[in-house]
Amino acid sequence: MLLPQEIIRAKRNGLELTREQIAFFVEGVTTGTVTDSQIAAFAMAVFFQGMEMHERVALTEEMMHSGNVLQWPDMPGPVVDKHSTGGVSDSVSLMLGPLVAACGGYVPMIAGRGLGHTGGTLDKFESIPGYNIMPSEADFKQIVNDIGVAIIGQTDEIAPADKRIYSIRDVTATVDSIPMITASILSKKLSAGLGSLAMDVKTGNGAFMQTLDDARALAQSIVAVANQAGVPTSATITDMSQPLGSTAGNATEMLEAIDYLTGAYRNPRLHAVTMALAEQMLLLSGLASTKEEAQQKLNHALDSGAATEKFSAMVHALGGPADLVENARQHVKLAPVCLPVFANQAGYVQHIDTREVGLAVVSLGGGRTEPSQGVDHSVGFTEFASLGQAVAADQPIAKVYARTEADAEAAAARVQAAFNISEQAVTPPPVIHDLLEPSSNN
């Protein structure tokens, strides 16, 4: 007879768990027969003892099957998605979904909210009036089928075991366990019934995995587990030692995404990551057979306006305004107080405390410190200076949008302190550090 405490004891003692043991424990999490304290003990045992790859695959698959797994039997093209481990100014999903849809992919993106210093894709979409992040499953499937992309929130039916386990990991200091992170991410993503997945694993001071070694270890785990679970997956390790784009916030990033799609302005780092991940999605799904072909298709989708059309159609299908792209600033409102943030001296941007920049958004009300909090979509930052950039003492390194003068001044001071200016010229780090492909021997 299987008992939760015996499974915990086995893992605590460093033994490998069988598929049967893991399935029993996850089922108990889902039905409630496993208690919160037992989940906490299990998470701590895994934190210290780790898991072999076959255990990670079993945990991922059992958590995925704890709820509804979407099926796409009649889809006219490949079903593909991406996932980022999160950071500051990471608006890639906003452009990437429509861009890949314009190249023939079908992207059922189930996105998350921001927590702590990281922004959330759902919060960004909720800056659009009327946008419905929780359509019915039938509507979700119909929109993906008709348009090629829908970006929505996680329902209670998707990986319910993960929702319960994660909430307990969050309060028991067991979040940063690579086997548990792997299972948490993939159980949710693979529940969408994907044919392939492109992962974006961030590294740097604004990332969850701050060192390149930690980011690579997580990327290797995700690629190995997802591929063993039958979903071709690659992982691109990208830089988060500065805000990825030019803006941070919800409305601010939505407006930047619209400018990106229309070609009004494309931040070079944001563009590099978006194109790298989109290229992976086309290659993994068979929509392109070479990197050159993928880039050609992606550039055509951007230049022809096809990606923008997909974005507009998705927003309208999910309840947003039909003329969002044409009249973006009438629909997506920024907070009324705008202040420039000046460098504390002339020179070159040597270092940015990216996590602090994210927390400055939270301090304005644009993020949350616990999951039930609401956010103010209108606050945030624009026009960030980047690492290595020369700045004059009277030149802004950012602009802040806030509800009040006092809020704006406090957030501006926080961002000013997060930017370290040096007299010496600085070479910024590469935007893309590494790529782990499905065939990689990881």
Q: What is the DSSP code (8-state) at residue 434?
A: E
Contact 158, 188 (CB under 8 A): yes
pLDDT at 440 over 60: no
Residue 301 lies in a domain: yes
State the average pLDDT over residues 13-36.
96
Q: List residues with catalytic annotation.
A: 81-84, 121, 169, 184, 188-189
CA distances (Å), 101 to each of 149, 276, 376, in order?
Answer: 6, 16, 30
Q: Label residue 154 by pLDDT band (50, 70, 90).
A: confident
pLDDT at 441 over 50: no
Enclosing domain of residue 311: 80-159+168-327
Residue 188 lies in a domain: yes
Q: What is the pLDDT of residue 442?
A: 45
Task: Kindly give, in sequence order, each residue whose CB lies less than 8 Å from that of residue 415, ignoring residues fewer than 6 positions away.
Answer: 341, 356, 357, 360, 381, 397, 398, 400
Q: What is the CATH number of the domain that holds 43?
A: 1.20.970.10
Q: What is the percent of the chain with per-residue pLDDT over 70, rounded to a whole number?
A: 98
Q: What is the mean pLDDT of the chain?
A: 94
Is residue 318 located within the same domain as residue 338? no
Residue 72 lies in a domain: no
Examine the fold and report which residue of 304, 327, 350 is the final residue of a domain before the chain moves on. Answer: 327
Q: Count of domains in the chain?
A: 3
Is residue 317 located within the same domain as residue 346? no
* pLDDT tens digits, one per residue of 330-360: 999 999 999 999 998 999 999 999 999 999 9
* pLDDT tens digits, one per residue of 83-135: 999 899 999 999 999 999 999 999 999 888 776 677 789 999 999 999 999 99
Is residue 262 located within the same domain as residue 186? yes
Q: Label residue 257 by pLDDT band (50, 70, 90).
A: very high
Residue 283 lies in a domain: yes
Q: What is the CATH number of the domain that holds 384?
A: 3.90.1170.30
Is residue 322 located within the same domain as residue 339? no
* pLDDT tens digits, one per residue of 376-390: 999 999 999 999 999
Distance CA 423, CA 102 (A): 45
Is residue 246 located within the same domain as residue 360? no
Q: What is the percent of the chain with per-residue pLDDT over 90, rounded to a whole number?
A: 86
Is residue 19 located within the same domain as residue 114? no
First to last CA, the chain: 36
Task: Kindly give, in sequence order, each residue whose CB lies less than 8 Å from that of residue 431, ignoring residues fewer than 6 positions away.
Answer: 238, 239, 268, 269, 272, 273
Residue 438 lies in a domain: no
Is residue 139 located within the same domain as residue 254? yes
Is residue 126 located within the same domain as residue 215? yes
Rounded to two decimals, what is the model's pTM? 0.94
Is residue 312 located within the same domain as residue 342? no
Residue 18 lies in a domain: yes
Is residue 136 located within the same domain as residue 29? no
Our CA angle for 319, 325, 327, nearest 5°, is 95
Q: Tokens at residue 378, please?
A: 């209108």
Examine the fold and report which residue of 293, 327, 361 is the final residue of a domain before the chain moves on. Answer: 327
